[in-house]
């Protein structure tokens, strides 16, 4: 492991805004803040908002700055990524921001039923071949239901046509309430929008490649049990994802028209 990563991990250990709880630690001792985030961590009754797969934490910190009347928690398994947002939040003495280093699959081990008001899912891997790992798949949305308060919200922001189309099919098939949905966010977005104009590292990359950003805002409800939408396995995959994140494809490559 490089010296830079070791330094970041050491700093995370001493950052009071970062809670590191791998599966074994949660399994053996539970999580002491579950059901007590308001009383024991934030010391207020403001709504709790999660960013799942928060990466560098740009959304967690950006939302925290814009909405001091809400509490924001970024969750990611990669400590070297969390370091950026956690360091910025501690430097600015932000009282409404925290980070958890753990697996998203353990979400309901960290939050009690109804403890969360909103969930942001920003630019996740679309998991085109593994629906059980897809963060807007029915398996995960059922888990979100267990921690969200009544009327709770889920935001998806993605560059992936596949994930946008799948999510749209899933919410439609299950009759979930959709509050907003667009396949080209910046063609419809007001430049003054205080939420959607926060741009993550990966979002900047996708925009520079000429890709459109998609957005879905919906309420997952509480019942009945969610069902996978028929025909979802026939959705066209994202052809440009055969390239690494560092590769900048041309226009033909983006739209699948080039010979690879």
Catalytic residues, by residue number, are 125
- Strand intervals (E) in the chain: 18-20, 48-52, 71-76, 97-101, 116-122, 148-158, 177-182, 214-219
Among the listed residues 54, 66, 69, the one whose alpha carbon sits nearest the alpha carbon of residue 17: 54
Report how many helices (DSSP H) and strands (DSSP E) the chain contains, helices first. 11, 8
Tell me the CB-side half-sphere exposure of residue 117, using CA atoms within 13 A: 12
Separation of alpha carbons 97 and 65, rounded Å: 9
Residue that has been written with the tokens 């994802």 in this structure: 241
Q: Which two tokens stand for residue 118?
A: 């909103």
Sheet holding 116-122, edge to edge: 18-20, 97-101, 71-76, 48-52, 116-122, 148-158, 214-219, 177-182
């Amino acid at each position: 492991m490089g010296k830079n990563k070791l330094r970041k991990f050491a700093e995370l250990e001493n950052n009071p805004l970062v809670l590191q709880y791998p599966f074994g630690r949660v399994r053996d001792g539970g999580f002491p803040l579950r059901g007590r985030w308001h009383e024991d961590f934030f010391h207020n009754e403001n709504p709790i908002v999660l960013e799942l797969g928060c990466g560098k934490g740009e959304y967690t910190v950006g939302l925290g700055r814009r909405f001091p009347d809400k509490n924001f928690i970024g969750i990611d398994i990669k400590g070297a990524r969390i370091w950026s947002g956690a360091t910025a939040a501690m430097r600015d003495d932000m009282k409404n921001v925290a980070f958890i280093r753990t697996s998203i699959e353990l979400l309901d081990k960290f939050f009690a039923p109804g403890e969360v008001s909103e969930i942001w899912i920003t630019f996740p891997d679309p998991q085109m071949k593994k629906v059980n790992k897809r963060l807007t798949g029915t398996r995960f949305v059922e888990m979100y239901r267990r921690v969200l308060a009544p009327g709770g919200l889920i935001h998806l922001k993605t560059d992936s046509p596949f994930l946008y189309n799948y999510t749209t099919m899933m919410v439609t098939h299950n009759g979930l309430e959709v509050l907003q949905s667009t396949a080209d966010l910046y063609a419809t977005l007001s430049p003054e929008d205080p939420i959607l104009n926060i741009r993550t590292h990966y979002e900047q990359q996708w925009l520079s490649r000429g890709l459109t950003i998609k957005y879905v805002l919906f309420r997952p409800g509480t019942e009945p049990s969610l069902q996978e939408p028929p025909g979802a396995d026939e959705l066209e995959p994202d052809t440009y994802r055969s390239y690494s994140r560092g590769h900048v494809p041309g226009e033909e490559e983006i739209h699948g028209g080039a010979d690879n």
